[in-house]
Homo-oligomer: A and B are copies of this chain.
Amino acid sequence: MTHEIAVIPGDGIGQEVTPAAVDVLEAVDVDFDFVEGDAGDAVKEATGEALPAETRELAADADATLFGAAGETAADVILPLRDVVGSFANVRPARSYPGLDAVQPDTDIVFIRENTEGVYSGIEAEIDDGVRTLTRVITEDASREIAEFGFSYANRNGFENVTIAHKANVMRETDGLFLETAQAVGDSFDVDYDTALMDALAMHLVMHPEEYGVVICPNLAGDMLSDLAAGLVGGLGLLPSANVGEDNALFEPVHGSAPDIAGEGVANPSAMILSAAMLLDHLDYGGEAAAVREAVEDVLANGPRTPDLGGDAGTDDVTAAVVDRL
């Protein structure tokens, strides 16, 4: 069976790390058909649209999508793409790797971020001169869906502790609904769980990340907490992510287009290659996914390394080293 994969490199280092992930997927024993689409600043400049209709359709019709990064237009690209693939869960593992400098070398956390609502509902208005509002939406359905996904994920992947993040002491009705819905789901699973105010959680994650496993978050909290965790493990160059829907999904590194180093061939492809590993997992090639992850870990431990990790290798060297180990 051949899987059709939409490949959307986007801007900046997206153009460099996306081909790296494709190289790795071509090196494993699975049949893929790659179809490439444009998105981001460059295509907006050329056509007026950051996410052309053809690219949307590509992602909608594919079995899965690999997305690199976008520049200024990031929100105009990634938010609609998440919608196109019907993704309700954003899965963001943050792990520290042996041998790499990390603020907290004992981190292994998976953030399960609600991916459709909260402040991302995007309903804003100017209700008077200099007075603007945004309507944050929380629904019981989306809260239940993300909690079920998170607790199942914890069970399936052997995590023994789950944390539900919230700010229900201030957002009493909305995060109150998120919290009570997620707790009810948690009670029906055979996993230990805790709840945490997201401000206190930010502090505890910085001091004691080793105490956390799976963290289920409302949308914006997940955005911030997963980036915080990226800081703990050595930066965004290491964090993959999956935007998971009912029957489609999109995989992207947590990092952006990094205009400061774009075009130099030194971008760290690890986050993107690890995103490809998540794609393999999603399509049920668990063995191949594990092999890719092991290869990346081995290269992270032994080099070659890109400059963000203190090395002087290029994107291609790292990619070749990963492919070599497969």
User: Given B103, B134, B170, which contacts A103 in the complex, CB threshold below 8 Å?
Assistant: B103
The verdict on A167 contacting B220 (CB below 8 Å), with A125-B173, A173-B125 known, is yes
A103-B104, A167-B223, A198-B224 are known; give 7 further A-B pairs, CB within 8 A: A74-B169, A75-B169, A131-B137, A132-B139, A134-B136, A202-B224, A203-B236
Q: Which of A59-67, A186-194, A227-235, A245-253 contacts B (4 or more CB under 8 A)?
A: A227-235
The verdict on A177 contacting B227 (CB below 8 Å), with A74-B169, A124-B172, A170-B120 known, is no
- Minimum CB–CB distance from A79 to chain B (whole Å) comes to 8
Number of interface residues of A (CB under 8 A): 55
Contact check, B124 vs A173: say whether CB atoms are below 8 A apart. Answer: yes
CB pairs A–B below 8 angstroms (17 shown): A74-B169, A79-B170, A103-B207, A119-B171, A120-B170, A122-B170, A126-B173, A131-B139, A132-B137, A132-B173, A199-B224, A202-B225, A202-B228, A203-B227, A203-B228, A204-B231, A205-B231
Which residues in B have their C-beta under 8 angstroms from that of A302? none
Does A321 have its Cβ within 8 Å of any Cβ on chain B?
A: no
Q: Which 8 A-B pairs have the closest CB atoms?
A: A206-B231, A130-B140, A124-B173, A203-B231, A199-B227, A202-B228, A134-B136, A203-B227
Contact check, B223 vs A199: say whether CB atoms are below 8 A apart. Answer: yes
- Minimum CB–CB distance from A82 to chain B (whole Å) comes to 12
User: Given B75, B104, B203, B205, which contacts A235 in the complex, CB threshold below 8 Å?
Assistant: B203
Contact check, B134 vs A174: say whether CB atoms are below 8 A apart. Answer: yes
Does A133 have its Cβ within 8 Å of any Cβ on chain B?
A: yes
Does A138 have its Cβ within 8 Å of any Cβ on chain B?
A: yes
Contact check, A200 vs B227: say whether CB atoms are below 8 A apart. Answer: yes
Contact check, A139 vs B135: say whether CB atoms are below 8 A apart. Answer: no
Which residues in B have their C-beta under 8 angstroms from that of A126? 173
Complex Cα gap A256–B66 (Å): 44
A122, A132, A199, A200 — most chain B CB neighbours (10 Å): A132
The verdict on A130 contacting B134 (CB below 8 Å), with A103-B207, A124-B174 known, is no
- CB nearest to A206 among chain B residues: B231
A75, A203, A227 — most chain B CB neighbours (10 Å): A203
